[in-house]
Chain A
Amino acid sequence: MLKQPRQTGEEIWKTRIDKISAELFTLTYGSVVAQLLKDHENYLEVNKQLDKMGYNIGVKLIEDFLAKSGTNKCGDFRETADTIAKVGFKIFLNIIPTVANFSADSKEFSLILEDNPLSEFVELPEGAVGELWYSNILCGVLRGALEMVQMQVEVFFVSDVLRGDDATELRVKLVKYLEEEVPAGED
């Protein structure tokens, strides 16, 4: 029985997810970013680190997601986009970003986040405004998760409210579908 992704997301959020305090989550992520800044002192490096951390999270998170949602393989990239926005984001962050700006060949789309639980109360320091993508961990998470379901994607931020832009927008680009590869040792 194929349910609407929005309904599925809502149901799973209400029944099968343990909840924690939003402030605890926001403050924890905030201190991760602040500590990374202290350690590296270079905003671009921090972006890379956040992406790496996100990748590691995504690789594991996809299993949890598939177990909780029981979704079948998506028919095309558009379905993938829908599932990510309405089920994925809903289950883990309780937000539903808007899917927009689908490219002509259906290989790219944007996710527009209306409010971002990661960045509540945050004001970027002076030097960071042009360089730091505060929620860059999300890019890594999407990249890692999709790689585990045989899609190689590039994910990056296009705009961020913290930088003074109008909206927070993530761009997801499909590079290629990964074929099953025979591991190097076997022949």
Chain B
Amino acid sequence: MPFDVVCIAVIGKMNNPLYIKNCSSTYQDLKCHYIAHTSIDLVEERISTTKHTDQYLGLLYAMEELAVFGYITNTRVKFIIVTSLQDVAIKDQEMKNLFRKIHNSYVSLVSNPFYNPDSHKPIVSANFERAMAEVTAT
């Protein structure tokens, strides 16, 4: 993979954090939480103005060598991927692939009869963790 994923965040439909994973050693966890939080505003802005029908929201914003990409599902669950900025522009197709993988793992998680998606509690699932580790490893 030509770029590094710094963190992945899954945010529920009430804008509650469900899952935040810090994949880098250089940034603190708190920073990941902060970035995920600020991305929520941008996601809301994007969906209210344009791109109603597209799930992939593209580059939301860039700051201090980090680029933030967003993706929203039809059930208003948001996925955020933060990567470190490289000289080479990151292709949309690659980001879409990553988001699709995350979406598939999320679907498997929700299909678990013991998972309650309305509970607003953070995600606790060994399979989901494993899938996220795979996403960042490739």
Closest CB-CB distance, B59 to chain A, in whole Å? Answer: 32
Chain B positions 97 through 138: 1 when the CB is less than 8 Å from some CB of chain A, otherwise 0 = 000000000001101111100000000011100000000000
Interface centre among B114, B125, B126 (most CB of A within 10 A): B114
Q: Which of A98-151 contact B (CB under 8 A)?
A: 120-125, 128
Number of A-B contacts (CB under 8 A): 30
| A121-B108, A123-B125, A123-B127 known; A27 vs B114 contact (CB < 8 Å) | no
- Top 5 closest pairs, chain A to chain B, by CB: A30-B113, A121-B111, A34-B113, A125-B114, A121-B108
Measured CB to CB, the residues of B under 8 A from A are 108-109, 111-115, 125-127
> Across the interface, which residues of B come within 8 angstroms of A128, CB to CB?
114
> Across the interface, which residues of A come within 8 angstroms of B126, CB to CB?
123
Closest CB-CB distance, B111 to chain A, in whole Å? Answer: 4
The answer to the question of A31 belonging to the interface, with a C-beta cut-off of 8 Å to chain B, is yes
Chain A positions 154 through 184: 1 when the CB is less than 8 Å from some CB of chain B, otherwise 0 = 0000000000000000000000000000000
Closest CB-CB distance, B14 to chain A, in whole Å? Answer: 22
The reply to whether A34 and B111 form a contact with Cβ atoms under 8 Å apart is no
Closest CB-CB distance, B39 to chain A, in whole Å? Answer: 28
> Across the interface, which residues of B come within 8 angstroms of A123, CB to CB?
112, 114-115, 125-127
Chain A positions 9 through 28: 1 when the CB is less than 8 Å from some CB of chain B, otherwise 0 = 00000000000000100110
The reply to whether B127 and A27 form a contact with Cβ atoms under 8 Å apart is no
